[in-house]
Amino acid sequence: MRVSFCIPCYESHGKAKQYLFEIFHALTQQTCKDFNVWISDQSQSNDDVLEACQEYADLFEINYVKNNNLLGNISANTNCALGHADGEVLKVMFQDDFILTKTLVEELDKAFQNDVLWAVTGFAHTNNGGYSHYNFKLPQYNDRLLEGVNTLSSPSILAMRNGLNEFFDEKLTMLMDCDMYYRLYKYHGEPAVLTDYHISNREHKNQTQRLQEHLLPSEIEYLKEKYK
């Protein structure tokens, strides 16, 4: 069962190559090799993302898409990767996050053998570039997702069966994940939960949650109107 890793990318303040190399190295270590990668690149100042893809292209299949649509819109950039990907399972992966295990693809393959439509994985955090990790948790649903109470974690924990046609709301940044999880629960039921801690969220000064925090009140109001 082919898993497509869907990675929205940009220059990332000069760290794009470093971040992608860390993800790509983790992918070379996977016990199951039935995967490919789809990159949507909104970089404007350099070709670091493309060059990183070219350096690993002989180790596994990497598909590169240059995306100039809605520049700076993380939801649109993620949707571009999701829309192009051809795997049976679409695995969202933000470029600054980590894959912690060698069995992520293997466990996704097992989870989606049944009638599972979407899945989430255990996660952790790091604030020192991946040297250590903390706050290990399993995703949990709560009734206040649309208020920004996110007990599931970032989109990097998410995998969906291709064909659901669920995409991130391009009017959202801070709550793009909460909105997606709400819809998935509402229309597609409970997810499979991979109980290993497969993903770590990188804490850093340039992450969206820090730079765009001012958007939170208006996005909560938008979701109130969206879902009445």
Range of the domain at 184: 3-227
Rounded CA-CA distance 108/32 in Å is: 10
Write the CATH number for 43. Answer: 3.90.550.10
Spatial CA neighbour of 49 closest among 111, 95, 100: 95
Rounded CA-CA distance 157/136 in Å is: 13
Rounded CA-CA distance 212/214 in Å is: 5
State pLDDT tens for residues 173-211. 999 999 999 999 999 999 999 999 999 999 855 556 555
Q: Which residues of 34-51 are buried (b: 16+ CB within 10 A; e: fewer)?
A: ebbbbbbbbbeeeebbbe
Q: Which residues contact 165 (CB under 8 A, 6 or more apart)?
A: none
State pLDDT tens for residues 23-75. 999 999 999 999 999 999 999 999 999 999 999 999 999 999 999 999 999 99
Q: How many structural domains compose the chain?
A: 1
Token look-up 């009140």 returns 217
In this prediction the pTM is 0.95
Rounded CA-CA distance 4/88 in Å is: 7
